[in-house]
């Protein structure tokens, strides 16, 4: 149908938090199955006023990684991070609940291009690591996943394009799509800081709104953060887009160190070779590392106390 194709050709949407406006394309893992309870003990449910809002994952006992486009305020009593959960709607003894002491979006996160879509949350206490709550390891700096690599994605969202929410944590597999092909399919919207994943066949399969911030896993490490997808979730013609975590290892370590010694450096200390901001030349730098791209020209910051906003529509280029 011409209309549908036209809409699709205009691109996709950031996988906005589940608390988006009513009628938003809420959905989570599509074409998946329930995860074996507690088989993914690093998964976090980030909740606002008791409702699941975004996914995340535990990377150290006090730190959860998620997407910058999840506007999670810090020190807000209505925000909770729930670890050790399988069914969100019932009390589970395995659950550990924390507040968010710090919520740090990447200084170069750009809501327009959705580049650098990574956020670190410092919990208000240390998680107790046990059978139900464990951390997941990060990849080595700058490693990439080969096209065709089959990964797993997780989420607690709607399981259709029509907003059906699962009772349990869901998971599905997704295959890495070559970045150059993905960039063509997305008309240039895919930066070197992104990974693409899609169903291996015509079955609708993948992530959708509400899965935001969740992990893309391969062999016990997390390589990606759920970032955005096409309008129709699971449609392999618009692969799902993940933040490529390996490009941010230096930044992540810097943030964690800085908050271990808070009286040390200034927040967001400018690095050498300040970025020129979106549109000013090479937006998609080489995999040389975001560390060298942090600087005073950082675009608008996300999060920090702002209310959730309507889903961003990515305009076609
Ligand atoms: C951390 O935040 C949670 C949720 O707001 C709260 O229940 C808990 O008491 C807080 N813990 C500490 C150590 O402040
Ligand atoms: C698509 O591939 C999945 C495995 O990833 C398989 O379970 C499913 O049956 C396949 N569907 C079709 C229509 O071939």
**46-97 per-position pLDDT tens digit:** 999 998 889 999 999 999 999 999 999 999 999 999 999 999 988 899 999 9
Task: For ligand 1, say whether the CB of 296 is within 6 Å of any of its atoms.
Answer: no
pLDDT over 70, % of the chain: 68
Task: For ligand 2, say whether the CB of 203 is within 6 Å of any of its atoms.
Answer: yes
Q: If you measure from the C-alpha of residue 55 to the centroid of ligand 1, how many angstroms do you get, rounded to a whole number?
A: 19
Q: What predicted TM-score, i.e. pTM, was given to this entire model?
A: 0.77
On the question of pLDDT at 162 being above 70, the answer is no
What residue owns the CA closest to ligand 1's atom 12?
124
- Output the pLDDT for position 206: 74
Task: For ligand 1, say whether the CB of 31 is within 6 Å of any of its atoms.
Answer: no
Mean pLDDT lowest among 21-35, 214-228, 298-312: 298-312
- Output the pLDDT for position 270: 40
What residue owns the CA closest to ligand 1's atom 13?
125
Residues with Cβ within 8 Å of residue 122, at least 6 apart in sequence: 62, 63, 100, 101, 102, 103, 104, 259
- Which two three-digit tokens encode residue 40? 């993914």
Q: Which string of b and e fits 153-166 if b means at least 16 CB within 10 Å? A: bbbbbbbbbebebb
- Which two three-digit tokens encode residue 159? 């399981």
Cα(106)–Cα(65) distance, integer angstroms: 11
Phi, psi of 4 (to 5 degrees): -60, -45
Q: Show the beta-strand stretches assigned E in 128-219.
A: 150-155, 170-177, 194-198, 209-210, 215-218
Counting ligands in written order, which one lies closest to the CA of residue 121? 1
- Output the pLDDT for position 14: 59
- Which two three-digit tokens encode residue 142? 């700058």
Q: Which residues are catalytic?
A: 69, 117, 212
- 3-class SS of residue 247: helix
End-to-end CA distance of the chain: 22
pLDDT bracket for residue 199 (50, 70, 90) = confident
On the question of pLDDT at 294 being above 50, the answer is no
User: Cβ distance 58 to 136 under 8 Å?
Assistant: yes
**Per-position DSSP letters for 100-122, written without gaps between them:** EEEEEE-TT-BTTTTBT--EEEE
pLDDT bracket for residue 235 (50, 70, 90) = confident
CA–CA distances in Å: residue 241 to residues 117, 129, 207, 213, 307: 10, 30, 9, 11, 24
pLDDT bracket for residue 269 (50, 70, 90) = very low
- Output the pLDDT for position 6: 26
For 203-225, the pLDDT digits (tens) are 777 776 568 899 999 999 999 99
Counting ligands in written order, which one lies closest to the CA of residue 32? 2
User: Cβ distance 155 to 210 under 8 Å?
Assistant: yes
Strand 51-60 to strand 100-105: parallel, antiparallel, or no bridges (unpaired)? unpaired
């Amino acid at each position: 149908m011409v209309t549908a194709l036209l809409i699709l050709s205009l691109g996709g949407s950031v996988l906005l938090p589940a608390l988006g406006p009513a009628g938003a394309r809420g959905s989570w893992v599509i074409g998946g199955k329930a995860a074996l309870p507690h088989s993914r003990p690093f998964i976090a449910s980030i909740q606002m006023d008791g409702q699941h809002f975004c996914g995340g994952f535990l990377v150290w006992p006090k730190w959860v990684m998620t997407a910058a486009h999840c506007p999670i305020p810090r020190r807000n009593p209505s925000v909770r991070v729930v670890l050790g959960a399988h069914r969100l709607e019932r009390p589970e003894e395995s659950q550990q609940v924390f507040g968010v002491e710090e919520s740090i979006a990447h200084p170069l996160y750009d809501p327009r291009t959705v580049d650098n879509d990574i956020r670190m949350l410092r919990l208000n206490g240390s998680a107790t690591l046990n059978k139900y709550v464990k951390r997941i390891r990060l990849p080595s700096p700058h490693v990439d996943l080969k096209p065709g690599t089959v990964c797993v994605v997780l989420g607690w969202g709607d399981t259709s394009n029509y907003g059906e929410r699962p009772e349990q944590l869901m998971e599905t597999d997704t295959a890495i799509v070559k970045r150059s092909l993905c960039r063509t399919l997305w008309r240039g919207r895919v930066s070197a800081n992104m990974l693409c994943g899609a169903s291996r066949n015509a079955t609708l399969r993948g992530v959708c709104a509400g899965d935001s911030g969740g992990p893309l896993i391969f062999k016990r490490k997390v390589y990606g953060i759920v970032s955005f997808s096409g309008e129709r979730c699971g449609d392999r013609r618009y692969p799902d887009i993940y933040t490529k975590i390996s490009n941010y290892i230096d930044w992540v370590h810097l943030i964690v160190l800085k908050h271990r010694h808070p009286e040390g450096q200034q927040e967001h200390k400018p690095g050498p070779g300040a970025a020129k901001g979106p549109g000013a030349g090479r937006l998609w730098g080489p995999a040389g590392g975001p560390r060298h791209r942090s600087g005073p020209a950082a675009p608008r910051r996300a999060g920090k106390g702002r209310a959730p906003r309507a889903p961003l529509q990515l305009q076609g280029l």
